[in-house]
Amino acid sequence: MHKTNIITKIRFLTSYYKYLKPEARAVLICVYAAKPATLPLLWGIGENECFYPFYSVNSMKTYFLPPPCKWLALSFLFLLSACDMFEYHPYAGNLEFKDLTAQNVARIKALESQYNPENPLRFALTGDTQGFFAETEDMVKDMNSRDIAFVIHAGDLTNYAFTDEYERMHRVLAKLKAPYVTVIGNHDCLGDGDKLYKEMYGPLNHSFTFGPNKFILLNTNFLEFDASVPDVNWLEKELQTPQTIMNKFVISHIIPDNSEANPAQEQTYVNLMRKYNVRLSLHGHTHNYRASELYDDGIPYVTTAASLKRSYVLVTVTGDQATYEKIDF
């Protein structure tokens, strides 16, 4: 292989400092083809220095090596990769965790026998934790201090839908005392991200019940898929519930009035919410908290902020009533 091609490949791999294996994060080596006689070495300082490729290059020290050392440094880099310190392809499979939705729904159903519908049911709504690991850790601690039956994540677990991102975020959310369920976000769909999501979590559209309450999680990432998203036919079937279901909650990443939602399906979605008397329509995506009766029909549309904004939504269900509040942590 031509040495310029080798250098280009190494440059691509090492630019994603955040996604190096932990053992290799101590040093970020960036190789440029511009000056064949020299090799700049860029030393990464801290985990967030290169969240985006070359984002903080100017904050790093640059050392130029003489020609004899250039290929020695290249050999060192390949040695690191041979030791499995790099994730060669960011969308590579070999997931450590699989079928998490089914596992967590099973945990939720196991709690159902202890649930008395006369007592309030509390669940948390969060979303857009994408790369905000420290803030999400703090959020988990706050949620663990409250009486919460389960947590719903409204999408964007990841920023680039890399395997490492999915797994790292799960390790944070797995610290929750309560089980959590998710819906896919637009960032979770990048590259082969939707395939990773389905393998790690499960179907893109799914639902579960808890006592007299039904929770419907719907893929609304129209731009990342096609005009068939959201699947309003599937949604209507899910909304056709027996009389024992008192409350229906629809959760999706993108709220229907957003510019990235499917404009052809907006009115259909809104009509279904009205027809089947949905209690709350819950969302993420914008990174900012918003709650209003968006279509003046008595149905609140609630959007949770990103964990970076250090808040989430706590929903309390009592009988056939549901209230919500923004929780700062």
Phi, psi of 105 (to 5 degrees): -65, -40
Give the pair of three-digit tokens for residue 221: 């990432």
Residue-wise pLDDT tens digits, 198-238? 999 999 999 999 999 999 999 999 999 999 999 999 999 99
Give the pair of three-digit tokens for residue 42: 């860029």
Q: What is the Cα–Cα distance from 213 to 191, expressed in whole angstroms? A: 35
In terms of pLDDT, which residue wins out, 78 or 43?
Answer: 78
Q: What is the mean pLDDT of the chain?
A: 82
In DSSP notation, 197-263 reads: HHHHT--SSEEEEETTEEEEEE---GGGS-TT-S-HHHHHHHH---TT--EEEEEESS-TTSTTS-T
Residues 6+ away with beta carbon under 8 Å from 87: 19, 20, 21, 162, 163, 164
Residue-wise pLDDT tens digits, 275-315? 999 999 999 999 999 999 999 999 999 999 999 999 999 99
Q: In the chain, at which residue ranges do the beta strands (DSSP E only) sit?
A: 39-42, 62-65, 121-126, 150-153, 180-182, 206-210, 213-218, 247-252, 280-283, 290-292, 301-303, 311-318, 321-328
pLDDT at position 43: 35
Asked whether the predicted pLDDT for residue 64 surpasses 60, the reply is: no
Ordered domains of the chain (ranges, CATH)? 3-82 (no CATH), 100-328 (3.60.21.10)
Average pLDDT on 239-254 reads 98
pLDDT at position 68: 59
Q: Say what the pTM is.
A: 0.75
Q: Which of 5-14, 107-116, 174-183 has the lowest mean pLDDT?
A: 5-14
Residue-wise pLDDT tens digits, 181-192? 999 999 999 999
